[in-house]
Amino acid sequence: MSEKSLTLQIAKKLIGCKSVTPEDAGCQNLLIEELKKFDFQIQTIVKNGVTNLFAIRERKGPLLAFAGHSDVVPAGNLDQWTTDPFIPIESNGFLYGRGSSDMKGSIAAFLVATMEFLEENPNHDGSIAFIITSDEEGPANYGTKIVCDYLKNKNIEIDYCIVGEPTSEKELGDMFKNGRRGSLSGNLTINGIQGHVAYPHLANNPIHLAPEALLEIINIKWDNGNEYFPPTTFQISNIHSGNGATNVIPGELEIKFNLRFSTENTPESLKSKIHSILEKHNLNYNIEWILNGDPFLTKTGTLTDTLSKSIKEELGIESKMSTSGGTSDGRFLTKVSKQIVEFGPCNETIHKVNECVKITDLAKLKNIYKKVIEKLLTK
């Protein structure tokens, strides 16, 4: 069996596990079975139905960790799929199945890359670790966050971390992430006084009270961004008021919003600006704040340079660094890792019906991961 086909075989086995969040459905056991052959120490952490794996092969020198998630989003309407989403199918050069791109293909690739490296370099420098969770696509309260707490308690610090998220856009290797914006959500309620529309002097319509303050918030220039991040953005995602009747002035206006923010701001500074505007307009309000994740950034350095060189060697292209996109588990890993990058296959079909990955890309991805290991852990 060629190593190329081994990556494909493991990817297919993982896809065959129906691991819809927060279920792992046996994925991590497949990894453990292989990692034990190379003397990895295995720690499984189960909490609130979430299964997490931390595996480490310790040596002197820096610690390189591969991180990822075994869970996938629901398949949705099965009638829209050409094939069963949990039966991997090879067709026209692609591997189809839920999780093929996000991110079971990456897990298979960095597992085989590690196995190849260890077979060829049994006395290598440095340590290698795996961090896998079954709750990245869901609330993520008991996933990688819990593993990071475990690592902090054990005083384990990661020097380099590669998250296998599908970051490529048009072709494999054209983009990787060296950070992500922070995400701060708010549930704002503006309070008025309910009443009859025929007697507005006896009521106070919160819909009429809100526009000036909201417009001022919408027009805030939060920051200019920086060389790594675009400017912070604010978006209202939902507005609701009233009970559906046309003759009732509502007593409350509910507004949901989200800020995607750069390292130029903090959650506290963003909250302060919004509170000051609402108070300036003398609104009776309350806000429930939800911090989905702080921004994190790995500046140009050893890990970004190593990944860029490895991509160039394997694919012959220059890869673009980016901090675009939504949140990822990198927001938790930044608490225990000095340098973090995210790199994986094309993301065109992720979370869609007929999710797929190019089979040749799996082999190339494995080769890139292996080159990174070689550069970081051998002299």
Residues noted as catalytic: 71, 136
Q: Does 102 belong to an annotated binding site?
A: yes
Q: Are 336 and 145 in contact (CB under 8 A)?
A: no
Cβ-in-10-Å burial (0-12, 13-18, 19+) of 245 comes to: exposed
As a whole number of angstroms, the distance between CA 265 and CA 172 comes to 32
Q: Does 165 belong to an annotated binding site?
A: yes
Which residue, among 215, 329, 333, 334, has the nearest Cα to 263 in the 3D structure?
334
DSSP state for residue 20 in the 8-state scheme: B
> What's the token pair of residue 23?
């279920």
Q: Which residue shows structure tokens 């370099």?
A: 121
As a whole number of angstroms, the distance between CA 117 and CA 248 comes to 70
Q: Does 216 belong to an annotated binding site?
A: no
> What's the token pair of residue 143?
């996933």
Virtual torsion, Cα 128, 97, 137, 68, nearest 10 deg: 10
Q: Does 34 belong to an annotated binding site?
A: no
Helix (H) / strand (E) element for 207: namely: helix 206-209
- State whether the Cα torsion 53-356-333-3 is positive or negative: positive
Q: Does 69 belong to an annotated binding site?
A: yes
Positions at the binding site: 69, 102, 137, 165, 351
Positions at the binding site for Zn(2+): 69, 102, 137, 165, 351
